[in-house]
Structure 1
Amino acid sequence: MFFFGLIYLLILHSSESKELVGPKQVTGIMDGSITIKCFYSTVTKANKYDRKFLCREAGPRRKCGTVVSSNNYVMEDFRNRASLVDNPAEGVFIMELSGLKLNDEGTYRCGIGTVNNGLTVVVNVAVTEDSTFPKEAELVYGQLRSAVTLLCDIGVQYSTQRKYLCKLGRSGCRNVIDSMGEVATEHQGRIILSSEKQPGSFTVKLIQLRKEDYGLYACGVGQYGEDGDSKVYDLRINEETDIPQGSKVLTGSLGGSLSAQCYYDPKRNYTLKYWCKWGGQSCSPLIQTSGFVQDSFEGRITIHDDPANGTLQILMNQLVQEDEGWYWCAVTDGSNDQMSTVQVKVTDAEHNGGLARSRMVIVPAGKPARIPCSYPCKYKTYQKYWCKWSNFGCSPVTSQEGEQNGLTVNCEPEAQQLVLHIDAVTSKDEGWYWCGVRKSERYGETLAVHLKVEEEGHVRDILEPDNAAVDPAADKKKSRMDSPPHSSEDPKSSNVLAISLSICAAILLVSAVFLIIKLRRRKNSELVSVGSYRTNISLTDLDNSLYIGKDNPVKDAQETEISSSQEEPKTNKKGSKEDLTYSTFLIYSDGKPNDDIAS
């Protein structure tokens, strides 16, 4: 009999109102109480603020007399035992009748409007003395493309058995989802069955409601009609909605990116928004507006929220094959959820024709960084940007109009590049940077670059991709090339070398003087003092020798005094024009004397 009663309810569904729904049947025990919930569409603004009421049909004309209303009216027969509470934010008003009597049984209507013959729905109320009466289907009202949650209390003794939700029809109850992982094709990606903290209960959440989801559902354990009790839900769908439909399928390529746009009611104060990946038993959050980001998605996922317009955009890049699947875009205020589902497909085709840049750049601390992002002609009219990624979003880096903390972004249309400049990188600059495009308020393709900052001298001076081959021998050679000349020599060693070269130069000069004297054998020689050596040399020849090598002078030469006489001036000896003491020599930047002077 109970099953045939459900079939009768299926037939009655065809005549129900789309703007207002209520339970078909409510049964209560004598002296007990009943609760009647009637749901209404909030898209029609008048529904929110109009009078709500419960009336009872009576007489041959079935005139409906008000039992209780939101204007604080209560019929005399129900004084102190009838109440009505309206919740316009949720689109539901709840009536409670207590102290039930047998003559309370009858046909009632819940409705909206100033008169009782306006927008109404019939509710049949039964009163019985038998506590074993069958339970009616619990009314659940969902808005098109929104979400509903069904709670099924099965009892602790059944907690280890198969749990299920099935949809009732004329031919039986067809499985929708169960704890064994079976999910009906039409519900793939938009339903989960999860156990509650109490072992004897579980919940089923169904999101992105469709018109065809309308109907009667039963939840229970084992097999429907065989094991344990089952609970029946009467799911109604409000087809009037101001929530736009988002994308259903998104396709990305390996290594590429994707952008998903979701919508929610901007008039509601949703406290948490998140993006999760669907599984039959749960939907694991990947990122939340609270700042949570799953570790494996660090640097490659972000959320852009626009509460004024009720849009939520999720960007993912560096796609891998494991990213394929179903995702939920969800918003919640703690008690009410609004969710939509997106299917993501990842192709193995190589990502090309879009943004291009090395995946990693390595820069020594203190050095400047220049990170170009190349874009194709199809993005010429798009807005291009660089931003720095964090758990709380991707903060835009200043554009070419301004400069902040040494970071600038320049667009080079000729080369079709958007270049990020950092004057001198520090450890705080390390992290993920995104290059992206957008048109109006819609974000498009993105590309992530990881900037790594290392201590100066530890790595290359150039920006390199993370997959660049490293040649240790080449690194050593480059280190030698980058080092200044003689940077590893001790200053004392340099002084000793300079003195040794000076002495050699003096010896070479004295040898030249002896050679000149021997060749010319002049009789009118005079005694001349040169340093600590004494020899016969003509002053004329000496004067001429000072100009040897003038035709090929050495640049950057400087005179450096390496010895000076501390003696008093000597008395000129007989026959000599003057006693000369040479205490200085030319020392050159390459540490060698002029070859012409040495010859």
Structure 2
Amino acid sequence: MTLLAFLLLLAVVPAESARGRHLPKAAISSPVFGPRQVYGVLGGSVTVKCFYPPTPVNRHDRKYWCRQAGSSCPTVVSTQYVAPGYQGRIALTDHPEAEHFQINISALELGDAGTFQCGVGVNGRGLSYTVTLSVAEAPPVPETPELFYVKLRSTWTVICGFGEDTAEMKKYLCKKEKEGCRNIINSYQELGRILLTFEDPPGSFRVTMTQMDWEDAGVYYCGAGEYGKDKTSKELDVFIYEDKNFPHLKTNITAKTGSSATFECPYEPLINSATRFWCKRDGRKCTRIIDNTGFVDEPYKGRVAMFENPENKTVTVILNQLQYKDEGVYWCMSNELREQQSSAELRVVAGEPALTGKKKVEAQVGSRVNLTCCYPCTYTSYQKYWCKWNDTGCAMLPAQQQGLPEPGDTCDPSTRTVVLSLGPLTEEDEGWYWCGLKRNGVFGESMAVELRVSAGTDAKLSPEFLDVDSRRDPGAVPPGGAHSDAEVRKGAAPESTDESRGSNTLALVLGPLAGLILVVVTAFAIVKYRQLKRSDLVSVGSYRTNISMSDFESVRDFSASNSVKESQETPMGGDEFITTTDTPERAANTTKAKRSSKEDAELAYSSFLDTSSSIAQGSSGGDSAVLDLSPPQDRD
């Protein structure tokens, strides 16, 4: 009963699921691949092509062709040997650059028919493939299938042609199975990873299939018309093998709205006349978005960039500012090296991007500006970069480190920031700037910021770049002329009139007030100067990167540094700008030990009031220390 239930369970397992879990027998048995059946004519010749993995050992190892005889396989021909009876009519030629070797047999005899093995090495050891040779006394003989040796996850491309008479007929590709030939694609269909295009001369077409997997191995037929009815078809034998050095490319990508998606394409050095481009599939057409010659489609300006990575054999394409309409299938293509083409499907879902910041920044010529990029603390170990976008890529800026966020930025305490400081700005600085993440040389999410620079001479500087003139003479005339009014009357004989007394009183009040304002402004300037001193500016041209220690502090320290209320300036003994999150008891002790600049100002003001009171009493003989600011006509 248990056995019956187990067999029933196996029967309901989907065939596709089982096929996806298990490799085809041909892929498991041997990485060497050749034709299953070869046909020749008596007195004629035949060529057998055998493929092998292009490893350094296989390239230099012995290649052989042997004839099976029971449990043994005597060598007929090898790289350095030819068996008696075959002298002068058999040859083995190795083509390591093409990953195969050929056996050519001429003057065929009926006795040459049999079962053979083509292989690599000194013995079978699994690197061999069984081939059956048939010799007919007279033509015709069946056509030998065309062989394809395809890397796992790579692209297979084939051209089929049947003459101009078939130009108007339906073109198709099907895969042979027990129940017939299953349709893969035809000229009336559109599929994501499979592309059928018409070629010259008329009647010819090309089929390109990306993301080749184990289950794609097998026998195919390409043809015109209907399979089995029209005698216009060609047999194709496809073998899949794994190359450990071939990059594992993503075939399905999911990204959030407003974020970015990273696509990887196979890299192969191109000849001078070749072009590599990236396009979006639209029916039978593939709309070009970007290529390696500097072309970028207008709607994608600032959104897309291409990076070549020869060391890991990939070309990375990054698409920024994702929208729902960006969903679809994208292809990496070239007018050369068709087998290097690839495709990936993009799906855009709702969500918040990992990188945040101001996406549009406006500034004037001569000013300075900070571009801020906030990232989650989970990406602290990742490499961060800023680059300036252009039609041929995104040029990395010479310095990229951590910095303090700009006032008004939306970074919360659980994030870190990468700040790019630019200035003084010129019109050439206008454009797109990208902030992104990298890990082990692989590009991750990125964010695009558009900087607009307008012409003008009245550009405003950011607060942290304001230059406070500390050399001002304490006796200089302050704004408003209150102190100058007192200076005009300085040295004149004191007058006992109400008008004179009112002017003196007004001067005594406004003078300390102006001094207090000056103290506050100076204290603020010192605070900002010391804060700025904590960062180093690495500058190349007009690009400056603010390097701050905030990225190496804890989340608690980072949040504290954004709070003005919790900041204290050391009044003496150092240049540090200390940020604390003290407890009430510790804050009380600190207040007792060190007076703040505000307390110093209040004490100075109190002393000034006492002095002013004494002067007022001495000059007018008054009996009150209270300053009377009411108009003279209202007094008694």
**8 Å CA contact retained: 2:265, 2:314:** yes
Aligned to 1:68: 77
Aligned positions of 1:276-355 closer than 5 A: 276-278=279-281, 281=284, 285-289=288-292, 291-329=294-332, 334-335=336-337, 337-347=339-349, 349=350, 351=352, 354-355=355-356
CA-CA distance at 1:335 after TM superposition: 4.4
* Structure 1 residue 180: Cα displacement: 0.6
Confirm whether residue 36 of structure 1 aligns to residue 45 of structure 2: no
Shift of 1:157: 0.6
Q: Please tell me whether residue 53 in structure 1 is matched to residue 64 in structure 2.
A: yes
- Of residues 91, 109, 120 in structure 1, which corresponds to 2:99? 91
Q: Secondary structure at the match of 1:19?
A: coil
1:160 corresponds in structure 2 to: 168
**2:256 aligns with one of 227, 238, 253:** 253
Q: Equivalent residue for 1:523?
A: none
Mapping 1:153-302, distance limit 5 Å: 153-183=161-191, 189-239=192-242, 241-243=244-246, 245-261=248-264, 275-278=278-281, 281=284, 285-289=288-292, 291-302=294-305
* C-alpha distance after superposition, 1:448-504 (max 9, x if no partner): 1223334337x99799xxxxxxxxxxxxxxxxxxxxxxxxxxxxxxxxxxxxxxxxx
Q: Deviation per CA, 1:42-64, whole angstroms, max 9, x where unpaired?
A: 35x5323211122345xx65864
Q: Percent identity?
A: 38
List gaps (5 residues or longer) in structure 2: 1-23, 463-502, 505-636
Cα distance per residue 1:313-367 (max 9 Å; x no partner):
332101122321123456x8944734554321112x36456312133x3444444
The equivalent residue for 1:501 is: none
The separation in 2 between residues aligned to 1:130 and 1:242, in whole angstroms, is 47
Whether the 8 Å CA contact 1:427–1:453 is kept in 2: the answer is: yes
Aligned equivalent of 1:442 = 442
Give the match for residue 111 of structure 1.
119
Mark the CA change 1:388 to 1:236 in structure 2 (over 3 Å): closer, same or farther: same
Alpha-carbon deviation of 1:201? 1.2
* Paired residues for 1:414-429 under 5 Å: 416-429=416-429
Q: 1:451 to 1:36 in 2, by over 3 A?
A: same
Query: How far off is 1:386 after superposition?
Result: 1.7
Determine helix, strand or coil for the equivalent of 2:428. helix
Q: 2: distance between equivalents of 1:306 and 1:15?
A: 30
Contact kept in structure 2, 1:143 and 1:209, CA below 8 Å: yes
For 2:431, give the aligned amino acid: G
1:175 partner amino acid: N
Shift of the 126–447 alpha-carbon distance from structure 1 to 2, 3 Å rule, reads same
Output the CA distance in 2 between the equivalents of 1:42 and 1:170: 33
Q: Deviations over 1:355-385 (max 9, x none)?
A: 12133x3444444343333444554554332
SS of aligned partner of 2:424: coil
Determine whether 1:356 maps to 2:368. no
- Between the aligned partners of 1:358 and 1:126, the Cα distance in structure 2 is 70
The structure carrying a bigger strand percent of its residues is: 1
Residue 411 to residue 95, structure 1, CA distance change in 2 (3 Å): farther
1:171-222 per-position Cα deviation (integer Å, ceiling 9, x unaligned)? 1111101111254xxxxx3221111222121121222211111211111112
Amino acid at match of 2:346: V
Compute the displacement of 1:432 (Å). Answer: 1.6
- The answer to whether the 8 Å contact 1:16/1:121 transfers is no
Distance 1:214 1:364 in 2: 61
What is aligned with 1:372?
A: 372
What displacement does 1:310 show?
3.3
Q: Take 1:259 and 1:15, find their aligned partners in 2: how far apart are those partners?
A: 31
1:22 deviation in Å?
1.2
Rounded to whole Å, the distance in 1 between the matches of 2:285 and 2:353 is 35
- Distance in 1, matches of 2:168 and 2:461, equals 62
Larger Rg: 1 or 2? 1
Once the two structures are superposed, what CA deviation does each residue of 1:13-71 show, in whole Å capped at 9, x if it has no partner? 6698322121011113445432211112335x5323211122345xx658644443223
| Post-superposition CA distance 1:117-143 (Å, at most 9, x none) | 874322222233544333232222222
C-alpha RMSD over aligned residues: 3.7
Higher mean displacement: 311-320 or 241-250: 241-250
- Indicate conservation of the 8 Å contact 2:147/2:238, yes or no: yes
**1:109/1:358 CA distance change after superposition, 3 Å:** closer
| Letter paired with 2:328 | G
Unaligned ranges ≥5, structure 1: 1-11, 184-188, 402-408, 464-550, 553-599
| Amino acid in the other structure paired with 2:52 | Y
Amino acid at match of 1:423: G
Q: What is the SS of the residue equivalent to 2:215?
A: helix
**Structure with higher helix content:** 2
Q: Which residue of 2 aligns with 1:6?
A: none
Q: Against the structure 1 CA distance between its residues 421 and 171, is the aligned structure 2 distance closer, same or farther, given a 3 Å change threshold? A: same
Find the aligned partners of 1:450 and 1:182 in 2 and give their Cα distance. 37
- 1:145 matches 2:148: no
Deviations 1:270-316 (A, max 9, x none): 66765443456465553344544444322211233332233443321
Secondary structure of the 1:227 match is coil
